[in-house]
Structure 1
Amino acid sequence: MSVEIGSGAYHQAPNNSSQFTCVPDALSFSESRSIGARVVMMIAALALGIAGGNMLSLTSTTGSPLTAMFIVFALAGGFLSTWSPCGYSSLSLLRPAGRYSFGSVARWTPTFITHALGYALGAVVLGGVLGIAGWMLLSGFNFNYMAVGLAVLALGYGAHQFGFLKMPYPQRRAQVPHDARFRFRSSVIGLLYGYALGMNYLTYVQTPILYIVTGVALISADITTAIAVIAVFNIGRCLPVAVNFLPISNQSVQSWLAKWQERAVEVDGFLLLSFGSAALVLLAL
């Protein structure tokens, strides 16, 4: 393999075996914005959150707009988790076999269904554990005070995503098992991947929104609510796989994800700052 950066030329010798396809490595990646641009985006996110919180406080009681805002926030966070190693993997590995056709998509549909069922099972298990833990440990604490703490945490992770604050990021550095595709049929792989990803902490997840979602499930101190909270996040995680119903090549999907990798991080930070500031306004008024 040879690479000539100056001229932009790229040569990668094919594998000796004709059974393998050689895919060139990416040579260019999206870059983060300048410090000034990131500061402007942070200020805009905070201003939007404060303005939105004030508007929502005039329309209803605290609980209702905060809940609606969180549902949108959690769904978006689940979608943004696609920009993680496992998100890339699930989109490329859970695809219809062969050339795109009505038949290949029909044969692949059970895989998508089992994948969604895996996410649902993960939401039940993780949400159930968090709900029980919250009921045992946090049911005696004031909900509003805990919600304020989560809102402040969201602000901290928003600054973290823009590169201005270092926050703890405990994650299991693991991916879904790629070799599973050699041992199981597609529908079984969909179920296994869905469950592993739906548990959220069995694999690496790039968005800190997961921590806020986890915190909300905990402070709810209710099993049903906690399961619903994780399920909303998991719906956002599962939906991008539906792109495989469309006649879009894996290469174009992966290229699009790589192109918007840094922008996804910035959207992540923007949402965290907006949600945190809006939640603080709603809880204060």
Structure 2
Amino acid sequence: MSTNAKFSRQPSGGEVGVACIPDAISFSESRSGAARFALLASAIVAGLAGGAALHSSAVSTTSALTSLFLVLTLIGGFLSTWSPCGYSSLSLLRPHGRYSIGSVVRWAPTFATHALGYAIGAVVLGGILGTVGWLLFTSVPFNYMVIGMAVLALGYGAHQLGFLRMPYPQRRAQVPHDARFRFSSPVIGLLYGYALGMNYMTYVQTPILYIVTGVALFCGGIVDIKAAIAIIAVFNIGRCLPVAVNFLPIKNVTVQAWLARTQERAVEVDGFLLLSVATASLVLLAL
């Protein structure tokens, strides 16, 4: 789900088999203008300093930009489930019964099929994006791609902090919760992993998805289709990782309560990352 209820669409909850929790209060409504501006300014400063430091290092500009993007992509995947709504879907994949080594061992195949579903989603979505990029963007210079994605990231960073309204096209649905009555746990894990791994079949928490999508498109033309698949795979790894909390003796209600208390932190991290990484990327190109 989107973290910004003011500027993005909320799930209608009217679809059959779909259950969801409304978005948290948006960052712009829960913080003063001074607090939001301070975070925006600190993100820009961090990006300027980070870009200058990377330029001064022995790392090439291409490698530095790639590293920045991969960090943004992996953390973005993790942020996509940092909400009670996002986790409410994944909580259906928890081990059954009382926590024990046995219950975790019996649950492990569900985690494996869930990860497999994400992998299949990465291949399908990344393959589609890479193919479209190969057809349309083979002649786009690398620098143009970086500038375009950086400007887009700046826009969505400002969106997350309430300074700018950006479009948030999403399918307003989560995974079908009633599937747990129709399939075994490993099958549910696979289906949920695939649906979430396709990223546009369900509502996604972070606009970092749009940056990842854009880069995958361009990389399909500039590099190859396998690069586009790898980009979506990194994002999906971040999305899948939170499910691993089920290996630990932590109650579902504890996770849900923590997410409810800290959900707005996801908005802050989201906006900060988008602004700082975009600024650092532009600095690297300019120097």
- Deviation, 1:90, is 3.2
Following superposition of structure 1 onto structure 2, how do residues 45-84 of structure 1 map, counting pairs within 5 Å? 45-59=43-57, 60-84=59-83
Tell me whether 85-94 or 227-236 shows the greater mean CA deviation: 85-94
Partners in 2 of 1:91 and 1:192 — Cα distance?
A: 12
Matching residue of 2:13: none
Count how many residue pairs are aligned between Structure 1 and Structure 2.
Answer: 260
Following superposition of structure 1 onto structure 2, how do residues 24-35 of structure 1 map, counting pairs within 5 Å? 32-35=30-33
- Deviation, 1:184, is 0.3
Matching residue of 2:270: 268
Following superposition of structure 1 onto structure 2, how do residues 245-260 of structure 1 map, counting pairs within 5 Å? 245-260=247-262
- Deviation, 1:87, is 2.2
Partners in 1 of 2:107 and 2:276 — Cα distance?
A: 39
Partners in 2 of 1:150 and 1:205 — Cα distance?
A: 19
Residues 139 and 84 of structure 1, relative CA distance in 2, 3 Å threshold: farther
Partners in 2 of 1:264 and 1:45 — Cα distance?
A: 15
Partners in 2 of 1:255 and 1:89 — Cα distance?
A: 11
Partners in 1 of 2:88 and 2:44 — Cα distance?
A: 34
Following superposition of structure 1 onto structure 2, how do residues 43-192 of structure 1 map, counting pairs within 5 Å? 43-59=41-57, 60-84=59-83, 87-192=86-191
Tell me whether 58-67 or 80-89 shows the greater mean CA deviation: 80-89
Matching residue of 1:38: 36
- Deviation, 1:105, is 0.4
Q: Are the aligned partners of 1:53 and 1:279 in contact in 2 as well (CA < 8 Å)? A: yes
- Deviation, 1:84, is 4.9
Matching residue of 1:205: 204
Partners in 2 of 1:197 and 1:284 — Cα distance?
A: 37
- Deviation, 1:89, is 2.3
Aligned counterpart in structure 1 of residue 235 of structure 2, from 220, 233, 256: 233
Aligned-pair identity (%):
73
Partners in 2 of 1:164 and 1:216 — Cα distance?
A: 24
Q: Are the aligned partners of 1:30 and 1:258 in contact in 2 as well (CA < 8 Å)? A: no
Partners in 1 of 2:226 and 2:82 — Cα distance?
A: 29
Partners in 2 of 1:87 and 1:225 — Cα distance?
A: 27
Amino acid at match of 1:284: A
Residues 245 and 55 of structure 1, relative CA distance in 2, 3 Å threshold: same
Amino acid at match of 1:126: L
Amino acid at match of 2:183: F
Partners in 1 of 2:247 and 2:26 — Cα distance?
A: 27
- Deviation, 1:266, is 1.1
- Deviation, 1:138, is 0.8
Matching residue of 2:282: 280
Q: Are the aligned partners of 2:84 and 2:259 in contact in 1 as well (CA < 8 Å)? A: no
Q: Are the aligned partners of 1:118 and 1:195 in contact in 2 as well (CA < 8 Å)? A: yes
Partners in 2 of 1:123 and 1:206 — Cα distance?
A: 17
* 1:32-73 Cα shifts (integer Å, max 9, x gaps): 322111100100000001110111112221110111111111
Amino acid at match of 2:75: A
- Matched position secondary structure for 1:260: helix
Partners in 2 of 1:69 and 1:146 — Cα distance?
A: 14
Partners in 1 of 2:200 and 2:88 — Cα distance?
A: 16
- Deviation, 1:29, is 7.4
Query: Structure 2: any 5+ residue segments left out of the alignment?
Result: 1-20
Matching residue of 1:242: 244
* 1:90-119 Cα shifts (integer Å, max 9, x gaps): 331110000000110000000000000000
Partners in 1 of 2:86 and 2:230 — Cα distance?
A: 22
- The TM-score normalised by the length of structure 1 is 0.88
